[in-house]
Amino acid sequence: MSTQIKERDTETESESSEESEHQTRRLSEKRERADMKERADNDLSEHDETVRLKVFRYDPEVEGKKDPRFDTFEVPFTKGMTVLDALIYARDHFDSSLTFRHSCRQAVCGSDALFVNGRQRLGCKTQMVDLEWPVRIEPLPHADVVKDLIVDMEHFYDQMESVEPYFQTNELPSGEEQRQSRENREKVKMSTRCIWCSACMSSCNVAAGDNEYLGPAAINKAYRFAMDEREGEDMKAHRLNIIEQEHGVWRCQTQFSCTEVCPKDIPLTEHIQELKREAVKSNLKFW
């Protein structure tokens, strides 16, 4: 403690010492923060509309932040503002420790699935005007929270990997190209759109109760390849084998929760149901 005070003394005195470098940086950072704050104040007074965000906060590594709590941020509303925009504003102007994932800002990368006003949504795809204010933002349910709005996605990725989410076949055509018919492409079209955001997995009560359940996204991924005619008969049998295992398609209880929340509008339940029928058809032979 005493050293710190001494440091501060020397800092103000010696301009050319090493500490002054530190200090200038610190001061400029401080100024920057003050600027930000000022700009935020300006913004807030200029805009007649502000959105109140209630954001879930939790940081197990910092003493005093170990207990989960909600922080409130007052953010100036701008036309076309998304939930992600508001979070970015809050982070940049009020609390730089506010942590959340984002990258593309256009519903492509799938990194910002959040629990907004009690529903799984993509932060960047959700317009503020479509929500009830104040807006409550939490990390995805049914997943371990690592920090603030960040959840551990490892389990979800494991499930995705387990269905072998890549094209594979032992039936190579003689020509050079491996063509897909238009109809077949149409059939798998929706299922190819998954961005691995995990919103569906988070919304599913069955997945919450059974950790081994593949989950909607993984089954949809399996659908995408099982229905792809280019993979051939053998591969389809192999795929159906994975799908109809104990914790596969039969765990689905058609709650439609996943279909409801999927930001890419993939008819997940429909795909799962179709795979169920495929599985039955491949096992039942009446001749």
Partner 1 sequence: MSQSYDRGLIEDFGRWKEFSAGMWAWIFHKFTGWVLIGYLFTHVAVLSSATVSGEVYTQTLQSLESLLVVRVLEVGLLAVAAFHILNGIRLLFVDLGIGLEAQDKAFYAAMVATGVITIASIPTFLGGI
Q: Tell me if 159 contacts ligand SF4 by CB under 6 A.
A: no
Q: Tell me if 211 contacts partner 1 by CB under 8 A.
A: no
CA-to-CA distance for 214 and 134, rounded, in angstroms?
35
**Which of 12, 17, 72, 103 is in the footprint of ligand FES by CB under 6 A?**
103
Q: The tokens of 253 are what?
A: 């209880």
Nearest-approach distance from CB 195 to ligand SF4, in angstroms = 5
Q: Tell me if 124 contacts ligand SF4 by CB under 6 A.
A: no
CA-to-CA distance for 90 and 52, rounded, in angstroms?
10
Identify the burial level of 218 via C-beta atoms within 10 angstroms of its C-beta, where 0-12 means exposed, 13-18 middle and 19 or more buried.
buried
CA-to-CA distance for 99 and 103, rounded, in angstroms?
13
Q: Tell me if 140 contacts ligand FES by CB under 6 A.
A: no
**Which of 74, 152, 158, 234 is in the footprint of partner 1 by CB under 8 A?**
152
Q: Tell me if 199 contacts ligand FES by CB under 6 A.
A: no
Q: Who's near 236: CB < 8 A, 6+ residues apart?
A: 226
CA-to-CA distance for 231 and 240, rounded, in angstroms?
12
Q: Tell me if 107 contacts ligand FES by CB under 6 A.
A: yes
Distances (CA, A) of 117 to 128, 163, 201: 11, 32, 18
CA-to-CA distance for 267 and 83, rounded, in angstroms?
24
**Among partner 1, ligand SF4, ligand FES, none, residue 255 binds (CB under 5-8 Å by kind):** partner 1
CA-to-CA distance for 238 and 218, rounded, in angstroms?
15
Closer residue to ligand FES (CB): 239 or 264: 264
Contact letters for ligand SF4, residues 246-265 (x by CB under 6 A):
----------------xxx-
Q: Tell me if 142 contacts partner 1 by CB under 8 A.
A: yes
Contact letters for partner 1, residues 243-262 (x by CB under 8 A):
----------xxxxx-xx--
CA angle 37, 40, 45 (to 5 degrees): 130
Q: Tell me if 242 contacts ligand SF4 by CB under 6 A.
A: no
Residues that bind ligand FES (CB under 6 A): 102-105, 107-112, 122-124
Residues that bind ligand SF4 (CB under 6 A): 110, 194-200, 216-217, 220, 262-264, 266, 268
